[in-house]
Structure 1
Amino acid sequence: MPEQQFSSIKTRKSVELFAGAGGLGIGLAQAGFVPEMVVEFNKWCCDTLRENHTVLLDDDTSESQHPWKVQEGDVRLVDFRPFENKLDLVSGGPPCQPFSLGGRHRAYDDARDMFPQAVRAVREAKPKAFVFENVKGLTRASFLPYFEYVKLQLEHPELVALADEAWEDHLRRLEQHHTSTNRPDLHYRVVTKLLNSANYGVPQKRERVLFVGFRDDVDARWSFDSGDYTQEALVWDQLYGDYWDRHKVALKDRVLEGRSLQISKRLSVTEKPDTLPWRTTRDAISDLPDPETENFVSNHRFQPNARTYPGHTGSYLDDPSKTLKAGVHGVPGGENMLRRADGSVRYFTIRESARIQTFPDTYKFHGAWSECMRQLGNAVPAELARVVGESVALRLESSEAA
């Protein structure tokens, strides 16, 4: 967590690309980054963004509300030059299907790869900083050369690929430029980090890779810690704390499974961790009514026909949720489900999924259940985005005060 806190949030200008349902934007806005423009291609996502068209800061007064200027359409047609040197941040999650462990692995020859557009936005707008995120699959061994290629493009956004130049040849030129002493062009210092959202207070085991860059003239000295929340602290709370009593769980249902059970064998009552406990699915959704009997809560309608498959048995109530997934053609079978104590399963509702992704309860989603779940499956947890945004804002402010 940041080593110091400022007394008030300073409003900063940003542009958000590939905004999806708005999870990254919500968290960054809570950290003070107000979007001058939000770019998204999907119609339903744009409808969701427009429905929830205000930035949510620490309070809900009219002075803290800023309209989101949603630009619906192809990011390749957007000109970012009017924002040149006027932005503190460019952010976004370039479509990640090429790199997903659960999707097709075409990577750099996949037309859905939008990282070149993220680099172009940085090149044209020249922001003080950027934050881009993607799936863990981008770091797998078979993609490491392309991972390095993406990072070097973000570090040297003005060294553009030549017409018909293969990405491997462009990578070689970037490596030569990167190791040169003569680099007068636009340059960013980039840090990459693989984060587990559960370690930052999100009730979901969701791993994302982060690209954070600061322009050369910003003395940011940025790094990001490993989070204040741990599984060990959760298991200790369940063994010796008041977790079960707090949730009024019957003795017969107080069950530890998987890695939690292994951890429990080496913890004692005198070894309370100095970290916070992972937040669980129960922590996130226990106060919502049973959707099979009551659905008066917005976006909390029961979806039937959930089934388990080998390796896809739903999320335990007393662990953080498994990663919510979008799927290429809707919610994949056996995913995005709650596993009850008796072993039966049901799909998470849209509202439960939004809770797991730490969206505000006031947030409304547009589209059918499968479309809304796709939006949420692709989203960045808002709380993770807030923590990252605050760390970036802190370093920007420290640099400006130096």
Structure 2
Amino acid sequence: MKALDLFSGPGGLSLGMKRAGIEPVACVEKSKDAVATYDAHTPDAEHYRSDIRSISFERYRGNVDVVFGGPPCQPFSTGGLRKGTADARNMFPEFMRVLKEVRPAAFLAENVPGLATRNRVQYLGELLSEFETLGFNVSWNVVSAADYGVPQKRRRLIIVGMKKGTFWFPKPTHGPDAHIPHVASGSVIDKASPLGEPPDCPVVYAKYPDPRRSPYAGHVYNGGGRPIDLSTPCHTLLASAGGYKTHWIDTMDIAPEYSAHLMAGGAPRDGAVPGARRMTLEESALIQTFPADMWFAGSRSSQYTQVGDAVPPMLGHALGVALRRQLEGATICPMTHYQSEASLPLLMTA
């Protein structure tokens, strides 16, 4: 089964799709480093390192079964400028154009949950309607990568369209509603022995901390990085990691004690946090379920960005297997799959 990979980044979604039997024949990505990374693991695909708006895809009509990809999420993220459709980085119109030119049997689009919340939900409704006018039966939902074996609480909006039939999402394989517990971040991170070289960015107590009930939430330390609870899936990795926004390992278990201290009315501390070290690139890649020997092109900052921007390959694999089997006409078992009942507006926190 052949596919086009749009806004591919380093190819996290593509790696999962390949394992599922959906082979990318071409990818589109503007980042030079991300394309070099992608080329290293999928050299047979045609690589377009240019603005998608300058490319015609009509040559792929009749030659690919699936179009998949994640249009830039910044316009709909709950962080950043929050410009939505007014943001020049909104590439959903280009995703639609590719579907019109290629006319695949199915598509899969990935984005942030913020697209289904607050004032952006109207645009999501418009997108779903436009997909339907192109002849697709559309299903969508917000899924957590942790529910499919990823040691990370990464929630993503997934939209799937099929020309024949309606997509059934795979049921979670991990977590309280499954037979296998969530995978803890400590399964791939050794507290005592870092894999690779941590960024040289000290973790410092915040001057004006804003604690939460959980020691691993709130804004208690400098930068956007948070301490990781190694007994559970970790927080979503940030594309801006590599410096002070990199999550960190609490090797001396300071976070629970300090959180209790603050919640009891204790005074903020100053200086560096004892025993704190930032997550390495290699650890971040494993949290995202990239292969252990995965190579990333570019500077360290670029490598962290590629890892943080990517769809976890393990999540891509779970979705890809379900999509391929349904396109091939396999009988779907309600014990392992479900039809999404998500409706607008989706009242949730992104």
Task: Spell out, residue by residue over 1:206-235, the C-alpha distance to the aligned partner (whole angstroms, 9 max, x if none).
Answer: 0000010001xx2x34211440211x4xxx
* Pair 1:47-2:36 in alignment: yes
Other-structure match for 2:339: none
Quote the Cα distance in structure 2 between the aligned partners of 1:39 and 1:81.
14
Other-structure match for 2:143: 195
The letter for the 2-side match of 1:145 is: Q
Task: Spell out, residue by residue over 1:348-392, the C-alpha distance to the aligned partner (whole angstroms, 9 max, x if none).
Answer: 111111101101112101122221111111110000000000000
| Structure 1 residues 339 and 138: CA distance shift in structure 2, 3 A | farther
Quote the Cα distance in structure 1 between the aligned partners of 2:152 and 2:173.
15
Other-structure match for 1:290: 193
Q: Identify which of 137, 152, 159 aligns with 2:114.
A: 137
* Pair 1:390-2:321 in alignment: yes
Other-structure match for 1:212: 160
* Pair 1:323-2:236 in alignment: yes
Consecutive unaligned residues of structure 2, counting only runs of 5 or more, are 210-217, 220-225, 255-274, 332-350
Task: Spell out, residue by residue over 1:132-161, the C-alpha distance to the aligned partner (whole angstroms, 9 max, x if none).
Answer: 1001111111111011112222222xxxxx
**Conservation of the 8 A alpha-carbon contact between 1:14 and 1:89:** yes
Quote the Cα distance in structure 1 between the aligned partners of 2:179 and 2:192.
31
Q: How does 1:203-242 map to 2 (within 5 A)?
A: 203-215=151-163, 218=164, 220-230=165-175, 232=176
SS in 2 for 1:229: coil
| Structure 1 residues 316 and 116: CA distance shift in structure 2, 3 A | same
**Conservation of the 8 A alpha-carbon contact between 1:338 and 1:346:** yes
The letter for the 2-side match of 1:30 is: R
How far off its partner does 1:305 sit? 1.3
* Pair 1:90-2:67 in alignment: yes
**Conservation of the 8 A alpha-carbon contact between 2:252 and 2:276:** no
Consecutive unaligned residues of structure 1, counting only runs of 5 or more, are 1-11, 55-66, 157-185, 233-272
| Structure 1 residues 303 and 331: CA distance shift in structure 2, 3 A | closer
Quote the Cα distance in structure 1 between the aligned partners of 2:293 and 2:178.
33
The letter for the 1-side match of 2:307 is: L
Runs of 4+ in 1 over 3 A off after TM superposition: 330-335
Larger RCO: Structure 1 or Structure 2 (Cα < 8 Å, ≥ 6 residues apart)? 2
Quote the Cα distance in structure 2 between the aligned partners of 1:289 and 1:340.
7
Other-structure match for 2:8: 19
How far off its partner does 1:17 sit? 0.4
Task: Spell out, residue by residue over 1:41-70, the C-alpha distance to the aligned partner (whole angstroms, 9 max, x if none).
Answer: 01111121122235xxxxxxxxxxxx2321
**Conservation of the 8 A alpha-carbon contact between 2:246 and 2:279:** no
The letter for the 2-side match of 1:280 is: A
The percentage of counterpart residues that share the same residue type is: 33
Q: TM-score, normalised by structure 1?
A: 0.69
Quote the Cα distance in structure 1 between the aligned partners of 2:81 and 2:48.
28
How far off its partner does 1:319 sit? 1.0
Q: Identify which of 369, 374, 377 aligns with 2:300.
A: 369
Quote the Cα distance in structure 1 between the aligned partners of 2:307 and 2:95.
21
The letter for the 2-side match of 1:14 is: A
* Pair 1:302-2:198 in alignment: yes
| Structure 1 residues 141 and 322: CA distance shift in structure 2, 3 A | same
Aligned residue-pair number: 294
Other-structure match for 2:272: none
Other-structure match for 2:127: 150
Other-structure match for 1:125: 102
| Structure 1 residues 399 and 120: CA distance shift in structure 2, 3 A | farther
Quote the Cα distance in structure 1 between the aligned partners of 2:62 and 2:192.
49
Other-structure match for 2:251: 340
Other-structure match for 1:30: 19
Q: Identify which of 79, 97, 111 aligns with 2:88.
A: 111
| Structure 1 residues 225 and 36: CA distance shift in structure 2, 3 A | closer
Quote the Cα distance in structure 1 between the aligned partners of 2:233 and 2:178.
19
| Structure 1 residues 365 and 289: CA distance shift in structure 2, 3 A | farther
The letter for the 2-side match of 1:338 is: I
Quote the Cα distance in structure 2 between the aligned partners of 1:13 and 1:289.
44
Quote the Cα distance in structure 1 between the aligned partners of 2:304 and 2:170.
30
SS in 2 for 1:302: coil
**Conservation of the 8 A alpha-carbon contact between 2:192 and 2:251:** no
Quote the Cα distance in structure 2 between the aligned partners of 1:331 and 1:134.
22
**Conservation of the 8 A alpha-carbon contact between 2:152 and 2:287:** yes
Quote the Cα distance in structure 2 between the aligned partners of 1:38 and 1:289.
39
| Structure 1 residues 274 and 139: CA distance shift in structure 2, 3 A | closer
Quote the Cα distance in structure 2 between the aligned partners of 1:332 and 1:208.
24
Quote the Cα distance in structure 2 between the aligned partners of 1:274 and 1:322.
21
Alignment RMSD (CA, Å): 2.0
SS in 1 for 2:152: coil
Other-structure match for 1:268: none
The letter for the 2-side match of 1:277 is: P
| Structure 1 residues 102 and 339: CA distance shift in structure 2, 3 A | farther
The letter for the 1-side match of 2:289 is: T
How far off its partner does 1:399 sit? 6.4
